[in-house]
Structure 1
Amino acid sequence: MAVALIVNFVLSLASFGAAQYTNTSDYTQYVDLFLGTENGGNMFPGVVPAPFSMVKLGPDVEDGTTDAYSGYLPSGQIWGFSMMHESGTGGAPKYGVVSQMPVAGTVDNPLKDLGQNRSVNDTAMVGYYKSSLANGVDVELAATEHAGLYQYSFPAGNTSSVVIDVSHVLPSYRGLGWGQGYAGGHFNVSGNSYTGYGIYNNGWNLAPNWTVYFCGSFDQYAASVKTFTGNDTTLYSYDNTAVTNGTYRQGGVFTFDGANVTSRVGISFISCAQACDNVESEIPEGSTLNSIVSKAQDCWNDQVFSRVTTTETNTTVLTQLYSYMYGMMLIPSNRSDENPLWTSSEPYYDDIFTFWDLFRCGTALMQVLQPSAYEEQIRSIIDIWRHEGWLPDARSSDYTGRTQGGSNADNVLADAYVKGVRGQVNWQDGYSAMKTDAEVVPPNNHDPSANDSSTKEGRGALPDWKEYGYITPKFSRAVSRAVEYSANDFGLYQVASGLNMTDDASKYLNRSRNWRNHWNPEQTSLNSSGFVVPRYANGSFEYPYDPMQCGGCYWPDPYYEDTPWSYSFNGHHDIYHLISLSGDSDGFVQRLETFFEPGLYSSNSAYGSTLFNPGNEPAFTTPYLFNFVGRQDLSAKYSRHAAKSYYNAGSSGIPGNSDAGAMQTWILWNMIGLYPMTGQNFFLIGSPWFEHLNIMLGTNTSLTITSTGGNADTAYYVQSLKVNGQPWDRAWVTWEEVFASGGRMDFVLGTEPVRWANGTLPPSPASV
Structure 2
Amino acid sequence: MALLTRSCLFLHVCFTLVVISVDFAQADSDWSQYVNIFQGTEGGGNRFPGVVAAPFAMVKLGPDMRNGDANAYSGYLPEGNIFGFSMMHESGTGGAPKYGVVSQMPVVGVPISLEDLSQPRASPDEGGVGYYKSFLANGVTVELAATEHAGLYSYDFPQDSVSSVVVDVSHVLPSFRGFGWEQHYSGGNFSLFEDGHYEGSGIYNNGWNLSPDWTIHFCGRFNQQPWEYWAFYGNSSVPGTSVSGSERLGGVFTFSGPKVASRVGISFISSQKACENLEEIAEDTEILALADVAKTRWNKEVLNKVQISSDNVDDLQLVYSSLYGMFLIPSNRSGENPGWSSSEPYYDDIFTLWDTHRCHTALFQIIQPEAYEEFIRSLIDIWRHDGFMPDARSSNYNGRVQGGSNADNVLADAYIKGVRGSIDWEDGFSAMQTDAEVVPPNNFDPNAPDSSTKEGRGALPDWLQYGYITPRFSRAVSQAVEYSTNDFGLHQVAAGLGKSTEAETYLNRSQNWRNHWNPAATSYDHAGFVVPRLENGSFVPQDPANCGGCYWSDAYYEDSSWVYSMNAIHDVAELKKRVGGDARFVDRLNKIFELGFFDAGNEPSFVTPYLYNFVQGEQWRSVNRSRDIGALYNAGPRGLPGNSDAGAMESNLLWQMIGLYPLTGQTTFLILAPWFESMTMDLGNGKKLEIISSGGNRNTTFYVQSLKVNGETWDRAWLTWDDIFANGGTMQYVLGERPVHWATGDLPPSPASD
- TM class by shorter chain equals over 0.9
Letter in 1 for 2:583: D
* Alpha carbons 1:67, 1:92 under 8 Å: kept: no
- Give the corresponding residue for 2:132: 129
Match of 1:187 among 185, 190, 195: 190
Question: What is the alpha-carbon distance in structure 1 between the residues aligned to residue 576 and residue 677 of structure 2?
Answer: 35
1:638 aligns with 2:618: no
- 1:77-122 CA-partner distances (Å, limit 9, x unpaired): 0000000000000111000000000001110122x11110001000
Deviation at 1:8, TM superposition (A): 2.6
Match of 2:571 among 569, 574, 579: 574
- Give the corresponding residue for 2:95: 91
- Give the corresponding residue for 1:27: 31
Deviation at 1:288, TM superposition (A): 1.2
* Alpha carbons 1:7, 1:29 under 8 Å: kept: no
* Alpha carbons 1:62, 1:68 under 8 Å: kept: no
Percentage of identical aligned residues: 62
Question: What is the alpha-carbon distance in structure 2 between the residues aligned to residue 146 and residue 313 of structure 1?
Answer: 36
Q: How many pairs were matched up?
A: 739
Match of 2:553 among 545, 552, 556: 556
Deviation at 1:640, TM superposition (A): 1.2
- Give the corresponding residue for 2:83: 79
- Give the corresponding residue for 1:251: 250
Tell me the secondary structure at the aligned position of residue 685 of structure 2.
coil
- Give the corresponding residue for 1:606: none
Tell me the secondary structure at the aligned position of residue 613 of structure 1.
coil
Question: What is the alpha-carbon distance in structure 2 between the residues aligned to residue 579 and residue 5 of structure 1?
Answer: 54
- Give the corresponding residue for 2:394: 396
Match of 1:731 among 713, 717, 729: 717
- Give the corresponding residue for 1:510: 508
Letter in 2 for 1:419: K
Match of 2:153 among 150, 154, 159: 150
Question: What is the alpha-carbon distance in structure 1 between the residues aligned to residue 473 and residue 11 of structure 2?
Answer: 58
- Give the corresponding residue for 2:170: 167
Question: What is the alpha-carbon distance in structure 1 between the residues aligned to residue 204 and residue 165 of structure 2?
Answer: 22
Question: What is the alpha-carbon distance in structure 2 between the residues aligned to residue 363 and residue 621 of structure 1?
Answer: 14
1:699 aligns with 2:685: yes
Deviation at 1:65, TM superposition (A): 4.1
1:100 aligns with 2:88: no
Letter in 1 for 2:432: M
- 1:163-207 CA-partner distances (Å, limit 9, x unpaired): 000110000110111111111111011132111111111100000
- 1:383-432 CA-partner distances (Å, limit 9, x unpaired): 00011110100000000000110000000000000110000000000000
- 1:579-638 CA-partner distances (Å, limit 9, x unpaired): 0001110110010011111xx3xxxxxxxxx21010000010011100011211111011
- 1:454-496 CA-partner distances (Å, limit 9, x unpaired): 0001001001001111000000000000000000000000000
Q: CA RMSD in A?
A: 1.5
- Give the corresponding residue for 1:272: 271
Match of 1:763 among 746, 749, 753: 749
- Give the corresponding residue for 1:292: 290
Question: What is the alpha-carbon distance in structure 1 between the residues aligned to residue 509 and residue 652 of structure 2?
Answer: 29
Question: What is the alpha-carbon distance in structure 1 between the residues aligned to residue 296 and residue 221 of structure 2?
Answer: 26
Match of 1:328 among 326, 329, 350: 326
Question: What is the alpha-carbon distance in structure 2 between the residues aligned to residue 551 and residue 579 of structure 1?
Answer: 26
Query: Superposition pairs for residues 589-608 of structure 1, below 5 Å?
Result: 589-597=586-594, 600=595
Question: What is the alpha-carbon distance in structure 1 between the residues aligned to residue 298 and residue 212 of structure 2?
Answer: 34
Match of 1:456 among 439, 454, 457: 454
Question: What is the alpha-carbon distance in structure 2 between the residues aligned to residue 23 and residue 527 of structure 1?
Answer: 54
Question: What is the alpha-carbon distance in structure 2 between the residues aligned to residue 188 and residue 709 of structure 1?
Answer: 67
* Alpha carbons 2:705, 2:736 under 8 Å: kept: yes
Question: What is the alpha-carbon distance in structure 1 between the residues aligned to residue 725 and residue 687 of structure 2?
Answer: 9
Question: What is the alpha-carbon distance in structure 2 between the residues aligned to residue 8 and residue 517 of structure 1?
Answer: 57
- Give the corresponding residue for 1:217: 221
* Alpha carbons 1:27, 1:306 under 8 Å: kept: yes
Deviation at 1:747, TM superposition (A): 0.6
Deviation at 1:222, TM superposition (A): 0.8
Tell me the secondary structure at the aligned position of residue 178 of structure 1.
coil
1:623 aligns with 2:609: yes
Tell me the secondary structure at the aligned position of residue 208 of structure 1.
strand
Match of 2:383 among 378, 382, 385: 385
Question: What is the alpha-carbon distance in structure 1 between the residues aligned to residue 227 and residue 188 of structure 2?
Answer: 25
In structure 1, list runs of 5 or more residues that go unmatched. Answer: 13-18, 601-609
Query: Superposition pairs for residues 635-714 of structure 1, below 5 Å?
Result: 635-644=622-631, 646-714=632-700
Q: When the two structures are superposed, what TM-score results if normalisation uses the length of structure 1?
A: 0.95
Deviation at 1:6, TM superposition (A): 6.2
- 1:646-687 CA-partner distances (Å, limit 9, x unpaired): 212211111111111000010000000000000001100011
Deviation at 1:9, TM superposition (A): 4.8
- Give the corresponding residue for 1:373: 371
* Alpha carbons 2:459, 2:469 under 8 Å: kept: yes
- Give the corresponding residue for 1:443: 441
Question: What is the alpha-carbon distance in structure 2 between the residues aligned to residue 250 and residue 48 of structure 1?
Answer: 27
**Shift in alpha-carbon separation, 1:4–1:175, aligned structure 2, 3 A:** farther
1:529 aligns with 2:533: no
Deviation at 1:24, TM superposition (A): 3.7
Deviation at 1:4, TM superposition (A): 5.6
**Shift in alpha-carbon separation, 1:552–1:688, aligned structure 2, 3 A:** same
- Give the corresponding residue for 2:19: none
Deviation at 1:244, TM superposition (A): 3.5
- Give the corresponding residue for 1:479: 477
Letter in 2 for 1:748: V
Deviation at 1:67, TM superposition (A): 3.7
Question: What is the alpha-carbon distance in structure 1 between the residues aligned to residue 283 and residue 27 of structure 2?
Answer: 29
* Alpha carbons 2:9, 2:33 under 8 Å: kept: no
Match of 1:538 among 536, 555, 559: 536
Question: What is the alpha-carbon distance in structure 2 between the residues aligned to residue 493 and residue 730 of structure 1?
Answer: 26
Deviation at 1:10, TM superposition (A): 5.5
Question: What is the alpha-carbon distance in structure 1 between the residues aligned to residue 46 and residue 4 of structure 2?
Answer: 23
Deviation at 1:243, TM superposition (A): 4.1
Question: What is the alpha-carbon distance in structure 1 between the residues aligned to residue 6 and residue 592 of structure 2?
Answer: 39
Question: What is the alpha-carbon distance in structure 2 between the residues aligned to residue 325 and residue 35 of structure 1?
Answer: 11
* Alpha carbons 2:46, 2:644 under 8 Å: kept: yes
Tell me the secondary structure at the aligned position of residue 460 of structure 1.
coil
Question: What is the alpha-carbon distance in structure 1 between the residues aligned to residue 243 and residue 124 of structure 2?
Answer: 39
Deviation at 1:700, TM superposition (A): 2.1
Tell me the secondary structure at the aligned position of residue 213 of structure 1.
strand
- Give the corresponding residue for 2:309: 311
Letter in 2 for 1:443: P
Letter in 1 for 2:8: N
Match of 2:121 among 106, 118, 131: 118
Tell me the secondary structure at the aligned position of residue 454 of structure 1.
coil
- Give the corresponding residue for 2:16: none
> 4+ residue runs of structure 1 moved beyond 6 angstroms?
none
* Alpha carbons 2:131, 2:288 under 8 Å: kept: no
Tell me the secondary structure at the aligned position of residue 122 of structure 1.
strand
* Alpha carbons 1:187, 1:252 under 8 Å: kept: yes
Question: What is the alpha-carbon distance in structure 1 between the residues aligned to residue 44 and residue 440 of structure 2?
Answer: 33
Match of 2:336 among 335, 338, 347: 338
- Give the corresponding residue for 1:607: none
Question: What is the alpha-carbon distance in structure 2 between the residues aligned to residue 585 and residue 9 of structure 1?
Answer: 49
Tell me the secondary structure at the aligned position of residue 121 of structure 1.
strand
1:40 aligns with 2:55: no
Deviation at 1:743, TM superposition (A): 0.4
